[in-house]
């Protein structure tokens, strides 16, 4: 029988509300000892899933807070076993004294992710949904939260389940024909097998293609601000952030290192990197900054190329333009529109197709740039749980896809059915790892160890 676990489920900072969580076979007994309702009998005898007002006691039985308690009987609870929560004031002292009282009655400290791990092991959710819990907690943008909650509700799991069921039909029908030759079971024709494998291959390819978008949604788009010295790169960073993060002066070369910040641009989360201006320099420190700029550009998915609109283009601008051209996506920004124009806007439009004039100093034109960033990544706004979001998921889908392709090739080459079956079972094995139907215990431990304590 599993033991009973307890944890503080809210951050240990002074706050209005703090929550203690409890789960396991001893939940009712422990709750009745540490919490005394203001009216009626013990909590375990009162209506479940309803808040009960009462007093929270420390390990010596002294009242330490007026609180609310709620009991969630298993199996219809988050973990699938008896669970309880105590909602008290968010004083770290009160929370720790309350947790100590739970320990005194036999509960132990929950490990990171152990509540969700028990939910998975007890069949309350599959592994994709369990990982979505962590994604939801860690979400840094509304779009990431929408995708995580969609996964938690089972959208991705249902898509995977459809592929799994199709392959299982192939495997189970084969074994039924072999194991029960006297029964009237129609074997799958080659045409049916080909159709099932082709359908599975197409679905897996589409699923794997979502991984890149899922990574950008979850972690943010790696973006780099490029331009010559004093073009206004740091001013643009500050304008997007809404506060002065980078030092801005009239001295060219002020920024000598990369400055990284996350900024929400509409539904898009940018991992924005301000960089040293690109130019040849004899200053050893600035030269290191320029090298870091080029390194950041090689790792970026989006380049914000800043041109000084108050001056004609120079060789340094051309260097920045060439560097930005190597980044998968670019937006060309003509800064300093609050100053007299030093370059013909029409010429820039003719060269780049689309430019975004703005003044980082006054903020004029920044909204248009933000809309352009959103337009580059429309899928994030529409994500509702169908995107793969971590490398474990992508690896499992890739292995399943390769096995399905191998099965289809074997069928086309006229191989015996058992060869096709072996590949189909390998595809099922990989999908089983994806949703947790077939997964090693040590891998389960590794996955949930990354979760926060109390969840």
Tens digits of per-residue pLDDT, 84-122? 999 999 999 999 999 999 999 999 999 989 999 999 999
pLDDT tens digits, residue range 152-205?
999 999 999 999 998 988 888 777 655 555 555 455 566 777 888 899 999 999
The label of the residue with tokens 């529409």 reads 382
Q: Rounded mean pLDDT of 77-83?
A: 96
- Give all strands of the β-sheet with 302-308 in edge-to-edge order: 259-265, 268-274, 221-226, 302-308, 329-335, 355-357
| DSSP state, residue 228 | S
pLDDT of residue 398: 96
- Please state, in angstroms and rounded to a whole number, the distance separating the CA atoms of residues 76 and 115: 14
- pLDDT(242) > 80: no
User: To the nearest whole number, what is the mean pLDDT of the chain?
Assistant: 85
Residue 100 three-state SS: helix
With a pLDDT cut of 90, the percent of the chain lying above it is 45
Q: Which one-letter DSSP state was computed for residue 47?
A: P
Are the CB atoms for 130 and 86 separated by under 8 Å? no
Number of Cβ within 10 Å of residue 57's Cβ equals 19
Name the residue with higher pLDDT: 354 or 56: 56
Residue 246 reports pLDDT greater than 60: no
Per residue in 394-431, pLDDT (tens digit) is 999 999 999 999 988 888 887 777 788 889 899 999 99
* pLDDT surpassing 70 at residue 21: yes
Q: What span, in angstroms and rounded, lies between the C-alpha atoms of 284 and 329?
A: 31
In sequence order, the β-bridge partners of residue 65 are: 56
- The pLDDT of residue 151 is 92
Name the burial class of residue 154, with classes exposed (0-12), middle (13-18) and buried (19+) by CB atoms within 10 angstroms of its CB: middle
* Spatial CA neighbour of 13 closest among 121, 107, 74, 91: 91
- Bridge-based pairing of strands 221-226 and 268-274 is parallel
How far are the Cα atoms of 31, 41, 183, 331, 395 from residue 389, in angstroms, in the given order? 38, 47, 45, 26, 11
Decide if pLDDT at 294 tops 90. no
**What's the rounded Cα separation, in Å, for the pair 54 and 35?**
7
Q: What's the rounded Cα separation, in Å, for the pair 348 and 306?
A: 12
Mean pLDDT of 123-136: 92
């Amino acid at each position: 029988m599993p033991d009973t676990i307890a944890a503080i489920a809210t951050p240990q900072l002074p706050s209005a509300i703090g929550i203690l969580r409890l789960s396991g076979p001893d939940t009712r007994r422990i709750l009745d000892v540490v919490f005394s309702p203001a009216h009626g009998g013990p909590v375990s005898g009162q209506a479940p899933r309803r808040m009960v007002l009462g007093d929270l006691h420390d390990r010596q039985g002294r009242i330490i807070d007026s609180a609310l308690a709620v009991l969630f009987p298993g199996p219809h609870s988050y973990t699938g076993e008896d669970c309880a929560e105590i909602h008290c004031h968010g004083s770290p002292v009160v929370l720790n004294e309350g947790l100590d009282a739970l320990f005194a009655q036999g509960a132990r400290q929950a490990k990171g992710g152990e509540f969700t791990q028990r939910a998975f092991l007890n069949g309350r959710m599959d592994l994709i949904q369990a990982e979505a819990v962590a994604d939801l907690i860690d979400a840094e943008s509304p779009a990431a939260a929408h995708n995580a909650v969609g996964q938690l509700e089972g959208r991705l799991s249902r898509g995977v389940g459809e592929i799994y069921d199709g392959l299982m039909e192939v495997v189970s029908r084969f074994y039924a024909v072999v194991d029960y030759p006297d029964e009237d079971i129609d074997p799958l024709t080659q045409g049916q097998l080909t159709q099932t494998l082709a359908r599975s291959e197409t679905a897996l390819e589409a699923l794997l293609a979502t991984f890149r978008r899922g990574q950008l949604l979850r972690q943010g788009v790696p973006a780099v601000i490029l331009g010559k010295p004093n073009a206004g790169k740091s001013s643009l960073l500050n304008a997007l952030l809404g506060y002065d993060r980078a030092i801005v002066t009239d001295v060219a070369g002020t920024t000598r290192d990369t400055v990284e910040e996350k900024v929400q641009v509409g539904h898009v989360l940018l991992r924005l990197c301000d960089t040293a201006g690109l130019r040849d320099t004899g200053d050893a420190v600035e030269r290191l900054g320029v090298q870091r700029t080029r390194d950041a550009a090689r790792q970026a998915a989006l380049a914000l190329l800043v041109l000084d609109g108050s001056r004609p283009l120079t060789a340094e601008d051309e260097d920045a333009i060439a560097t930005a051209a190597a980044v998968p996506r670019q937006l060309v920004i003509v800064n300093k529109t609050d100053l007299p124009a030093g370059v013909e806007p029409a010429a820039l439009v003719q060269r780049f197709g689309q430019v975004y004039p703005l003044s980082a100093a006054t903020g004029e034109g920044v909204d248009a740039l933000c809309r352009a960033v959103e337009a580059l990544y429309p899928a994030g706004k529409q994500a509702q749980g169908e995107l793969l979001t971590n490398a474990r998921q992508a690896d499992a889908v890739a292995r399943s896809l390769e096995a399905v392709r191998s099965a289809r090739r074997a069928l086309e080459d006229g191989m015996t059915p058992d060869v096709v079956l072996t590949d189909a079972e390998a595809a099922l094995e990989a999908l089983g790892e994806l949703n947790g139907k077939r997964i090693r215990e040590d891998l389960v431990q590794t996955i949930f160890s990354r979760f926060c304590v109390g969840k």
